[in-house]
Amino acid sequence: MKKTYKIEVDCANCANKMEEAAKKTPGVKDATVNFMALKMIVDFEDGADIPAVMKEVTARCKKVEDDCEIYL
Amino acid sequence: MTKKQKKMLIRILVTAALLGALLLIPEGAVDRLPLFLLYLIPYGIIGWDILKKAGKGILNRQVFDENFLMAVATIGALAIGLAKTGDFVEAVAVMLFYQIGELFQSYAVGRSRRSISDLMDIRPDYANLESDGTVSRVDPDEVPVGSVIVVNPGEKIPIDGIILEGAAALNTGALTGESLPRDVKAGDEVVSGCIDMSGVLRIRTTREFGESTVSKILDLVENASSRKSRSENFISRFARWYTPAVVFSALALAVLPPLVRILFLDASPDWGDWIYRALTFLVISCPCALVISIPLSFFAGIGGAGKAGILVKGSNYLEELARTGILVFDKTGTLTRGEFEVTAIHHSPYTEEDLLEFAALAESASSHPIALSIRKACKREIDVRRVTNVEEISGNGVLVRIDGKEVAAGNGRLMKHLGIEYKECSHPGTIVHMSVDGRYAGHIVISDTEKPTAKEAIRALRGAGVRRTVMLTGDGKAVAEDMAKRLDIPEVFSELLPGDKVAKVEELLEQKRPREILAFAGDGINDAPVLSRADLGIAMGAMGSDAAIEAADIVLMDDNPVKIASAIRISRKCMRIVYQNIAFALGVKGICLVLGALGIANMWIAVFADVGVMVLAVLNAIRALFVRNL
């Protein structure tokens, strides 16, 4: 199950860090952050509770890059 | 400019003005401590967010980022100023230039982001849905399959469909990069994303919006950079160890030489000097120039290709395309039109029109492609009432009576069967022999014709650095070799079944040189296995064909084979820019790091090495967007 989210982030390196953080979140099979399109594409594991997982992804991203936003 | 950027601009201007004012204070007029406090004002204005982020980073155990580097470097410089030199300008200036650089980068990225999304601006905002005689504006998502929509001049066609009524010239530029309008009329299929330039069209939709061409393309473009190129992966891996490495070398630079001086050389440790060098090191080390400019180059390259009607599904494919050495073509539909046409008429006692009329009448009941092409070639009205006694001889041809004459149309076997002597044809293609009242009446040659740009395409590919061009086809040897000769393709393999094509491509894959890429170009209709087996699959003429869009890595929206060479040139330009930026950024930084360690480069040079390099690299990356003359 793949979903695309709009994100707001200022620097490319921060985008890389967000990608790393999202990838390591439980329930996420794979994640890619497209800095140029300002999009995060998250591939969820089967049966994952998407809203809960995304909440955790947001929290983890905020931790690595304070100045970021994920529009759910 | 966004609000954030405007705020930053104001902060930069205020800081610059304050710094200018402080520089006017004559040396020695103010004591060191009050001077330090005065300089803290502009420093605070320009740097508070960096300090805050650095602090948060430490709390979140994400220490090594550029905020941390800048914070340590400038605080260190202030400390040296306070303790030793009384010079605070540098610390403020470094922070100021860093912020100017960041502002410029965010502005440039925002601009290119917008210009690329503008050129991909094919998303229709609404559809004019007709129901019960009234027309209402609705979201394209809400239009069911089979409904009737109205498209007025100047509007985009929102959903794929078939024209019921009306005629218009369509601008397909947004999809294909082609500037010539395409004329359509009732009965024609149209794809979403085209702009109606002249007439009102009533269209019966054949797909849902989500399945329409325009949605597929948007989806593809938006997901394009989720597949990262090796260069991008290299840079993000590089950035991960690079920053910590520089921080530790800076630490070593600050501590080791003074210790060595004290312990072994019996000299004064010069702590201030070495710490200053270490701080310079930190300023230079920021990896921004690389981290921002490499993805930006690919983004701009993919955007530029999109403008030319070439959709690249990911930056990794752009990278591979640049290394294409072997290009394998499917013949039908790629180099040829994929439509059969009457190309010659030989040995006929009748005029060409008369013979074609006989043939068209004889084949009037058939839906075979050959019959269709004969009927298309016949300019006269076909009156089926003239045809009686139709007898089909399966696989060989047809016997009919036309206006009381016995007419036979078919292959050589049919002629033999009827005991009629016929002439073999030297032309490649499908031959339809004709006889009228038992006498041979000549034959019609039907063949697939090459695209007008096919030959130019092959030449352009050679110019673009493709070493081998190979043609694969399921057609007979004579037809294939004739076509290859005309198009100047040296290698041709004929009479291949779809499975054989895969085997042939595998064989060619073995003959690749190291690092070389084998690309396969096909029309995507029945060569999906080959498209995926090749290193790089290029599908052509994809307007409206889902299969092609799905199977290929690179999709040419129209069916002009010359675009393959353009795509390769675009990718080469993009890769050149990527390598330039990597070499330039690493080179300048490397030199500055050495100079900094030796104590030759001061913080001003360090700021150039960081911000200046980034600005130049970003400007260079944007060049990848311009593909007009490629």
pLDDT at residue B308, as a whole number: 83
Is residue B245 a part of any domain in this protein? Answer: no
The CATH number of whichever domain residue A58 belongs to comes to 3.30.70.100
Q: Which residues of A touch B53 (CB under 8 A)?
A: 66-67
Angle (deg, nearest 10), helices B352-362 and B369-377: 140
Of B419, B449, B479, the domain-final residue? B449
ipTM of the complex, rounded to two decimals: 0.79
d(CA B332, CA B335): 6
Residues in B closer than 8 angstroms to A36, CB to CB, are: 109, 113, 116, 225, 295-296, 299
pLDDT for B458? 92
Per-residue pLDDT band at A65 (split at 50, 70, 90): confident
Residue B179 has pLDDT above 60, yes or no: yes
The domain of B408 spans: 340-449
Report the CATH number that the domain containing residue B187 is assigned in CATH. Answer: 2.70.150.10
- Residue B196 annotated in active site: no
Number of domains in chain A: 1
Render pLDDT for B541-596 as a digit per residue (tens, 0 to 9): 766 566 667 778 898 887 888 999 999 999 999 999 999 999 998 898 888 888 88
Q: A4, A6, A13: which to substitute to probe chain B, counting the most B Cβ within 10 Å? A: A13
Parent domain of A51: 2-71
Residue B421 inside a domain? The answer is yes
**Residue owning tokens 């950027």:** B5
In the predicted structure, residue B284 carries a pLDDT above the cut 90: no
pLDDT at B608: 79
Do residue B226 and residue A63 have CB atoms under 8 angstroms apart?
A: no
Q: How many Å apart are CA A49 and CA B304, to the nearest integer? A: 39
Structural domain count, chain B: 2
Cα torsion B120, B126, B130, B131 to 10°: value is 140
Examine the fold and report which residue of B176, B206, B236 is the final residue of a domain before the chain moves on: B206
- At B288 the pLDDT is 72
Identify all chain B residues contacting A35, using CB atoms and an 8 Å cutoff. Answer: 295
Averaged confidence pLDDT in chain B: 85
Q: Please tell me the distance from the alpha carbon of residue A11 to that of residue B108, in angstroms, as a whole number.
A: 12
Interval B282-288 mean pLDDT: 78
Q: Which of A13, A38, A64 sits opposite B239 (nearest CB)?
A: A13
Supply the pLDDT for residue B630. Answer: 66
* Of A12, A32, A63, Cβ closest to residue B292: A12
**What percentage of chain B carries pLDDT values higher than 90?**
19
- Answer whether B226 touches A (CB < 8 Å): yes
Question: What is the pLDDT, as a whole number, of residue B491?
Answer: 92
* pTM, to two decimals: 0.78
Three-state secondary structure call for residue B554: strand
Packing angle between helix B271-285 and helix B66-80, nearest 10 degrees?
A: 150
**Looking at residue B202, what is its pLDDT?**
92
Please write the tens of the pLDDT for every residue from A5-47.
888 887 777 787 888 889 999 999 988 887 777 888 888 888 8
Tell me whether residues B223 and A41 touch, CB distance under 8 A: yes
Residue among B116, B225, B287 whose CB faces A13 most closely: B287
- Residue B458 inside a domain? The answer is no
| Whether B60 and A32 lie within 8 Å, measured CB to CB | no
* Residue A49 distance to chain B (closest CA, Å): 23
Whichever domain contains B437, its CATH number is 3.40.1110.10
Residue B19 located in a structural domain = no
Report whether B94 contacts B607 (CB < 8 A).
yes
